[in-house]
Structure 1
Amino acid sequence: MTGTTDPLVTDTTDPLATAVTWLFVPASRPDRFAKAVTSGADAVVIDLEDAVAAGDKATARDRLRAAWPGNAGIPVVVRVNGPRTAEYADDLAACRALSPAAVVLPKTETAAQVRDAGEASGTRVLPLIETARGLVALDRITADPACARLLFGSIDLALDLDVSDDRALDTARADLVRWSVVNERPAPVDGVSTAVRDEAAVTRAATRARAWGFGGKLCIHPAQIAPVRAAFAPAEDEVEWARRVLAAGHDAAATVDGEMIDRPVVERARRILHRAELAVRHTTT
């Protein structure tokens, strides 16, 4: 990450690093590309994988080429089909010609896959971690220079692990955050919420992801964008507290709300204000 030496303070010069809301749109529906770009999402994921039927992959690639939303003003990335599929090489070749901001690599399980996807597509890679094999290789996957940011495929991972309680994925969430910090990558992006129009459910999921250290969330409907953005933005009382802490400075004898102001407290306040600034930027752009 350029522009900062703190892996938890997002590099504001990189829109892939600052994006909080990531909206999926099927590659087979070019009529929705412009709507997705202007939906208010921070990034758009045009999907050649799960959103496209098996027999429609080639047609979807053709439609993607014909209607590519260049100069969108926000990052537009492409989710290709997985490394073990017949469509993989053709998807990456199409991406190389289109120059998306990144490619989303599903079922990422090795650093070699990240490296190969980056070389074949000519762009950065967003590894989608959705298998147990991917989890155990996170250190190497995240360290690869082509890795821009981790994405969490929580639904597929639950299937791979054969778990039905979302809490069983908490150790995986911690691993994504931990290795992102170790390798100085932006905070990872949480998986989708299938409750398309249940704003309360989306808010709960996004709030929980933020508490675990995630920096954004994948969205499958424009209605999810606003609650996700609100959940990741610091609350007004948090911002006020952070301002009081920074106003108190580094005086070891100072306290705010009964809490002694030491270096970790000052750092936490600084990060809250940084997140608040990014939230304002995304709301006004």
Structure 2
Amino acid sequence: MDARSYLFVPGDRPERFAKALASGADAVVLDLEDAVAPERKALARDAVRAQLADGDPRLVVRINDESTAWFADDLTAARGAAAVLLAKAERAETLQRVREACPGTQVLALIETARGVLAAEALAQAAQRLVFGTIDFALDLDLSGDPIGLDYAASRLALASRAAGIAAPVAGVTAALDDDAALRADVARARAHGYTAKLCIHPRQVARVHELLAPSPAEIDWARRVIAASDASGGAAVQVDGRMVDKPILLRAQRLLARLP
């Protein structure tokens, strides 16, 4: 599931499921973890099971981590989801346990701790995708709030994903719902690290995230001119905008156009 957007919806609020699915999000995450109070976990699992019965391929279930009392029951409730998002992923063995409990389901590792970041390479080998839980990670390390504090971990997840041959990671949420500048800055920093998707916490973030993740008009124009010049030269050396077009430049142009919706 190489989605661009993952929209969270509390698992105990089934009246919101339809709105989330109509938001245009590539994936909808039915949340059994942080969004659900302990006394409502069982109710949320029942609602998630009922929704999964529809077989919608966009449905992801976030489950509680293996240290909690809810982990085993969450695994059972998540069967039939397109993907399972494991909170606070730290061990490849746990991802394998999820895979065995939910056969045919993709496993996404939500990395939210120092231990998770330091295990990124092993987790990338065991998961279909890594997801950076920036808020919990910042809490774990007692970061100041300056986004530079996230850069090392963000890069490590991207490197681990690339080395394992899986999709680029998913960026964390932007908590400010009405701050477009913050959303733009978060997506730009994620793209700088090679991320190609983002977690969303409100339907109105989805379309904007898609827009921000897509190549800009200037990038599209440049990529098309690079490819046209290369084709016209028959593979010979050629310049575009004063720069020599070699294989890495051509591949960059092709990747930009491949990101178009």
SS in 2 for 1:104: strand
Please state how far the C-alpha of 1:246 moved relative to its aligned partner: 0.8
Match of 2:81 in 1: 100
CA contact (8 A) 1:210 1:231 kept: no
| Structure 1 letter corresponding to 2:120 | L
CA contact (8 A) 1:192 1:218 kept: yes
Q: Which runs of 5+ in 1 are unaligned?
A: 1-15, 281-285
Please state how far the C-alpha of 1:240 moved relative to its aligned partner: 1.0
| Structure 2 letter corresponding to 1:156 | D
Match of 2:49 in 1: 65
Please state how far the C-alpha of 1:69 moved relative to its aligned partner: 6.3
Q: Which runs of 5+ in 2 are unaligned?
A: none
Match of 2:137 in 1: 157
Q: How far apart, CA to CA, are the structure 1 residues paired with 2:52 and 2:240?
A: 52
Map 1:106-255 to 2 at 5 A: 106-122=87-103, 123-144=105-126, 147-164=127-144, 165-249=146-230, 251-255=235-239
| Structure 1 letter corresponding to 2:124 | T
Any idea what the Cα deviations from partners look like across 1:8-31, whole Å, max 9, x if unmatched?
Answer: xxxxxxxx11x1111000000001
SS in 1 for 2:52: coil
Q: How far apart, CA to CA, are the structure 1 residues paired with 2:15 and 2:183?
A: 26
Any idea what the Cα deviations from partners look like across 1:53-105, whole Å, max 9, x if unmatched?
Answer: 01111111112223436243x52100011111000000101112xx0011000
Q: How far apart, CA to CA, are the structure 2 residues paired with 1:67 and 1:113?
A: 25
Q: How far apart, CA to CA, are the structure 1 residues paired with 2:53 and 2:207?
A: 23
Corresponding position: 1:44 with 2:44:
no
Q: How far apart, CA to CA, are the structure 1 residues paired with 2:159 and 2:236?
A: 30
SS in 2 for 1:197: coil
Corresponding position: 1:78 with 2:61:
yes
Tell me the TM-score normalised to structure 1 length. Answer: 0.87
Q: How far apart, CA to CA, are the structure 1 residues paired with 2:224 and 2:106?
A: 36
Match of 2:12 in 1: 28
SS in 1 for 2:109: strand
| Structure 2 letter corresponding to 1:43 | A
Any idea what the Cα deviations from partners look like across 1:246-266, whole Å, max 9, x if unmatched?
Answer: 111164431000010111100
CA contact (8 A) 2:29 2:60 kept: yes
| Structure 2 letter corresponding to 1:128 | L
- 1:266 aligned to which of 237, 250, 254: 250
Regions of 4+ moved over 6 Å: none
SS in 2 for 1:150: strand
| Structure 2 letter corresponding to 1:114 | L
Please state how far the C-alpha of 1:200 moved relative to its aligned partner: 2.3
CA contact (8 A) 1:33 1:69 kept: no
Tell me the TM-score normalised to structure 2 length. Answer: 0.95
Please state how far the C-alpha of 1:121 moved relative to its aligned partner: 2.2
Any idea what the Cα deviations from partners look like across 1:219-269, whole Å, max 9, x if unmatched?
Answer: 000111122111100011111111111111164431000010111100100
SS in 1 for 2:78: helix
Please, what is the CA RMSD of the aligned residues? 1.3
Q: How far apart, CA to CA, are the structure 2 residues paired with 1:221 and 1:116?
A: 31
Percentage identity across aligned positions?
A: 50
CA contact (8 A) 1:154 1:191 kept: yes
CA contact (8 A) 1:252 1:260 kept: no
